Structure 1
């Protein structure tokens, strides 16, 4: 069986399918992927900026409280005693009132007995076993986050309902001759860290349910963050980078199985405050972050396919108009090959090649008619000076 050849119209049509659909799909996919990649980079950069700002504000806040305690300790050292308790208490109360971060400020003598404090809380109590007192007898000290112990029953609960937790600052007190006077200590309310993170998120428009800010210890334990993760150690590549002092932004899968854009920024201290090794982490649910991007990508792909379909439709019609004159001429040539010389060859001016082919078929038809006429018995012989059929004759108009 002779294999049927493809028509020019079908070749053109299927070629246009490839030329329209494939490039449009490739361009659409590339544009969609480019948009997604750009948004991912912007998300990483934005979260990195947010985490860095939170880390900087935490360092600045701790430095300011460190400076407060240094000034108060210098004043007590200049007095050389802890005997003027009323004046000192007024100063401590004023400082606590002006800076609500302070949950408690007090001075204990060398034995560990609290001599004076804000609002008289714990005055007379023995704090000699507390880490801040023991460290403060040796050098200026910043103590990491811990739950309230002696003050747990004396202060109102935290606004967020969590247990009271404090960060400590302690300064040694000494007379001018070097004789120890005791230790000045302060407990900073941890709600301050939450307020810092919330203020940064609000200014950046990131106070959303799918955006979380964390503060981690130098061991990677969650000090501040979602309640279900507090106290847990996070084993993530970003956290490991952060505890090593590396600033990083990436997309990674968390223990809950979800993918998050994650940025970490280590705190580095400020001035004489050397820092506690905290790491600030900010995460954004990747599905939520890319929701608008996914919709945009779908619109890009849809627009690409619509444009390809329109181009294909136009090309399909054009291919038909292009191949139709050749199909008509092919049919005329087929009739001539079967000896049908009565039906005229249709003229066409669709394009130069079709016009040339039509003219040639007309000339061929006329030549065949002349040849057949000269072969009939009753046909007169052609004169010797008869002119041949002109090759320049145009096909007759229909």
Structure 2
């Protein structure tokens, strides 16, 4: 049986082990990159979905508040539903808000007294859900196709049926009795534009991302092609992101008005193959690099084996020469036995050769260790950058919503254990949509960045600031004793913003809601709700305000 030489064994083993090592490292690194890419893409989808849900929730709250404020107008409380001033107010409102398709007032029996453009005047809407709900209180309804207005309004250019969402509020007279309902129909396309604008306005948004609006039962309301289908996710009502059915899907509940039972969610999904494409490309490159490196190592191994085997081959040939009594063998002259002298000389030469190779291998190991140390440092730096991306808002540089939720939970647990109180400030830029509409989103981003800097410079080093969503920021104050009370800190922030010069946008103001931790809270959400209610009070009081329980601050007019 023909046996392979020592040179062949060394070459095959060195090449095989290097190939196995490089492929294993390539698969491992590719797996890590895939998981990190999945995490980053899921978080990006989640942040975008949160932005879209927040924007939609704010618009719904503003329209509901708008209808409510119109229903409380003085000329309506006098009971004269045919007063021309009522129609004038509704016309001005619909001219300012193009999303309204219809607005009108009815009496308590459902007969329309006045309406914009005279639509449905004199007709009965008693059986319509918005009218029945509007008699009981403020109402925001799910989308529906037009019934009475279908013959009076032009259809959609693409042939789709007209769809509306309804807003309604009761009309009370001076004695508090319900004498009618003020109702409004908003175009469903207004809702879809808000979602699409928030979901796809980012310059790095992937064209493969799909935005969906989901109702309380998990059925698709938008887009039209998927309407009525059940969204196929692990849990259609959970907020977060998940992987399933070939998609990376993020689901966020829309913060709808508290006075209604409306329950929507925004879902953003992206094909998993698209989301993980960079990681797959990295894996392919690593595998190709591993094969190429293995070939190089094979060549190096061959010459290294050739160099290492020569002393042994020389020893074998000398031994063979001695065995075969062939001439040319060299023996030590000082040794009395020629064979022992030749063996000693060969062993000495082989020893010197191995020592030389050991020094070379030590140098190679030192170089390899330095390379590994550098790669390890690079990986640690990359991990630190990924951690920063996961906990900070990319636009403003302050902490993001995810880190805020973690910090709020941490403060709440500490409060329960030690009784050390803390406070929450919710800060919202006034009329921020007007800034975006007037100057563009680039200027809006600059305003958000300057707001974040102003808030940070107005706080102490122990305070925590995060971008809560959209143009809203959240501040946690761990120490609320005198003189740095939450109200004084909030007023300091409000004044700093009001006095600042925003290069393009001009003057910008903020409204601040202050909430204090309460031992009766059973979850951090209760504190957020109180601060959000105070923020609502500050907005309702005219904006550029600080509002907290038992405290309000109105800025001195210049």
Please indicate the TM-score interval, normalised by the length of the shorter structure: 0.7 to 0.9
Secondary structure of the 1:23 match is: helix
Query: Per the alignment, do residues 26 and 370 of structure 1 end up closer, same or farther by CA in structure 2, a change over 3 Å counting?
Result: closer
Higher relative contact order (CA 8 A, sep 6+): 1
Question: Whole-Å Cα distance in 2 between the matches of residues 224 and 207 of structure 1?
Answer: 19
Q: Contact 1:136–1:183 (CA<8 Å) still a contact in 2?
A: yes
Question: Whole-Å Cα distance in 2 between the matches of residues 370 and 265 of structure 1?
Answer: 87
Q: Which residue of structure 1 aligns with residue 181 of structure 2? A: 183
Q: 1:261 aligns with which of 248, 251, 260?
A: 248
Question: Which sections of structure 1, spanning at least 5 residues, go unmatched?
Answer: 254-258, 346-361, 372-387
User: Residues 39-54 of structure 1: matches in 2 within 5 Å?
Assistant: 39-54=37-52
With normalisation by structure 2, the TM-score equals 0.58
Question: Whole-Å Cα distance in 1 between the matches of residues 91 and 115 of structure 2?
Answer: 8
Matched residue count = 347
Question: Whole-Å Cα distance in 2 between the matches of residues 370 and 392 of structure 1?
Answer: 10
Secondary structure of the 2:61 match is: helix
Question: Whole-Å Cα distance in 1 between the matches of residues 31 and 255 of structure 2?
Answer: 37
Question: Whole-Å Cα distance in 1 between the matches of residues 338 and 306 of structure 2?
Answer: 33
Q: Which residue of structure 2 aligns with residue 317 of structure 1? A: 303
Question: Whole-Å Cα distance in 2 between the matches of residues 304 and 318 of structure 1?
Answer: 20
Q: Which residue of structure 2 aligns with residue 24 of structure 1? A: 22
User: Residues 234-245 of structure 1: matches in 2 within 5 Å?
Assistant: 234-239=231-236, 242=237
Tell me the CA shift for residue 392 of structure 1. Answer: 8.3
Query: Per the alignment, do residues 83 and 316 of structure 1 end up closer, same or farther by CA in structure 2, a change over 3 Å counting?
Result: same
Q: 1:336 aligns with which of 316, 322, 334?
A: 322
Q: Which residue of structure 1 aligns with residue 62 of structure 2? A: 64
Q: Contact 1:260–1:285 (CA<8 Å) still a contact in 2?
A: yes
Tell me the CA shift for residue 189 of structure 1. Answer: 1.0
1:336-377 deviations in Å (ceiling 9; x for gaps) = 11122x2234xxxxxxxxxxxxxxxx2399856699xxxxxx
Q: Which residue of structure 2 aligns with residue 33 of structure 1? A: 31
Query: Per the alignment, do residues 304 and 15 of structure 1 end up closer, same or farther by CA in structure 2, a change over 3 Å counting?
Result: same
Question: Which sections of structure 2, spanning at least 5 residues, go unmatched?
Answer: 350-558
Question: Whole-Å Cα distance in 2 between the matches of residues 294 and 275 of structure 1?
Answer: 44
User: Residues 1-398 of structure 1: matches in 2 within 5 Å?
Assistant: 7-76=5-74, 79-158=77-156, 161-205=159-203, 208-225=206-223, 227-239=224-236, 242=237, 246-253=238-245, 259-270=246-257, 272-274=258-260, 276-340=262-326, 342-345=327-330, 362-363=331-332, 367=336
1:215-239 deviations in Å (ceiling 9; x for gaps) = 11101111112x3311223353231
Tell me the CA shift for residue 161 of structure 1. Answer: 4.0
Q: Which residue of structure 2 aligns with residue 379 of structure 1? A: none
Secondary structure of the 1:238 match is: coil
Secondary structure of the 1:262 match is: strand
Q: Pick which of 19-28 and 84-93 moved more.
A: 84-93
Question: Whole-Å Cα distance in 2 between the matches of residues 95 and 322 of structure 1?
Answer: 92
Tell me the CA shift for residue 128 of structure 1. Answer: 0.9
Secondary structure of the 2:273 match is: helix
Question: Whole-Å Cα distance in 2 between the matches of residues 364 and 163 of structure 1?
Answer: 111
Secondary structure of the 1:323 match is: helix
Secondary structure of the 1:308 match is: helix
Q: Pick which of 4-13 and 160-169 moved more.
A: 4-13
Larger radius of gyration: 1
Tell me how large the CA RMSD over aligned residues is: 2.8
Q: Pick which of 142-151 and 77-86 moved more.
A: 77-86
Q: Which residue of structure 2 aligns with residue 348 of structure 1? A: none
Query: Per the alignment, do residues 148 and 51 of structure 1 end up closer, same or farther by CA in structure 2, a change over 3 Å counting?
Result: same
